Structure 1
Amino acid sequence: MVYLIDMRIRYRSDDGAIWLQDDEGSLIILTVIMNRLLSYLIEQRGQVVTRDELLQNVWDIHGLHSSNHTLNKYLSELRKHFKNFGITSECIATIPRIGFMFNGDIEVQIIADDQQDTGSEKKLDSNTDNSVNGGTKKTYVSFISSRLFISAAIALGVIATGIHFIPADLLHQENVQAQKKDVPTFLLFNYDQCSVYTTQNNSAAFSERKKSLFLELVKESDIACLKDTSFLYQVSEAYLYGREGRAFISRCTLKDNEYISCLNFYWSGYESKT
């Protein structure tokens, strides 16, 4: 399959070729592992992919073994390639202690293999439902980090649930600290005295749907607005329209322009539509 990324880069997942659309001389061939990694991230574009999921699908199922260090090195190389090709926005965002995400704001189109010469293209929906989980799932994680926080990207583990949310399961607690300025965020609305931010600047209609869902999630899960906290939040379009998807809410405490602690709520499954 051939993808057109950001209207300037062509990427062929069959052999890992990647080049500037107007400069075939810029073509490079990604390594097998790097190609698998990029292909998988693009397929999940706009969705948070956990480290374990990447390790499983890029290495383990092929009989290989890897580590977080190796994964980080490959991701760093991919980011360098995109930067060298002229993309200034961060293509692959790191969500500390959770995983990674191919930026849903970067346009990606699919070019049919047999129609490349005619320029036939199909836009890849950043919110296409790629989940294989059945039923519903909800988890939350409390942490404080020392890694780069990527300001609202942490809210992008987006998930859909069923008609009722099951009780949250505390996964683990980690110490993390991060800068608030790392990634641009957009104010969605104010929940009581707390600001609610997302990483995407949506249309008015879509923003209203996101607000409504946020209020439903915090009510069902008893997530309160506390002093000196703000929310980072995102939800997949699939979830908003009643299909299987994801939602993520992170309530973070700020001190001296740094997030000193975050309580993360993560849902997966189907959103009920009554």
Structure 2
Amino acid sequence: MYVEIIAALHKIANGDFNVYLDFKLDQRNGFKELADHFNHMVRQLQQMEDMRQEFISNVSHEIQSPLTSIVGFTQALQHNYLSVEERNHYLSIIETESRRLSKLSDNLLKLTSLESDHQPFEKNQYRLDQQIRSIILSSEPNWSQKDLELEISLDKITVWADEDLMSQVWVNLIHNSIKFTPAKGKLKIQLNQMGDKAIVTISDTGIGISEKDQLHIFERFYKADQARERSKSGSGLGLSIVKKIMDMHNGHITVHSEVQVGTTFSVILPIA
């Protein structure tokens, strides 16, 4: 019995989670409960290890793609036969991919910080409608360039939340809606109070997200089909950050979308 336990612990210490203890109730009696808890712990450790491996794989993939582009176009710039237009085009691509790497790094740091005990989480009272209106105004160069029609309806609501973290939520959702809505499309942002909760809905007439992808849209790095199109210039981490911030506030976020019709994100935030 003790030999089996020690051998199993040695395997776990060496990173081998393919371990299972089987103490029969009629043979070992009280040790069955111990074995059940031990096996549950091993399964949890294996799941964490699988998640870690998947995370590393996804990060490596996201980094490799822009690096390949940067290296390829840098090599192309070394040729003397290129025209000025071609050189400027290649330099533009290198700049875009460099910014993409920088954004990926920034989002990884944000997500890591949010999931650690080191992220400052300071709630204070502030006007949610003023915060959202300020972000809409700061985004004017983006929506005015596409000549989007905006419909804004914000009730005066004071909330108790981390203002800086919630700002990241609205920036991400509003910028995404602008980015994936074609020119002369429509963006609708509403803020209402329902009991002790603030309800924010952000709707667009953009490319939409398939029903299958809506089930995974808040997962790290998830990009497929229409979700991939919505995230083609991003890292697939923005909505994961939004979801984590909402969880920290005991809030809730949902998505409803139809392909080529539009997308609506609904955020429910406790006021107090």
TM-score (norm 1): 0.26
Q: Specify which structure has the higher proportion of helix.
A: 2
TM-score (norm 2): 0.26
Greater length-normalized contact order (CA 8 Å, ≥ 6 residues apart): 1
Q: Which has the larger radius of gyration?
A: 2
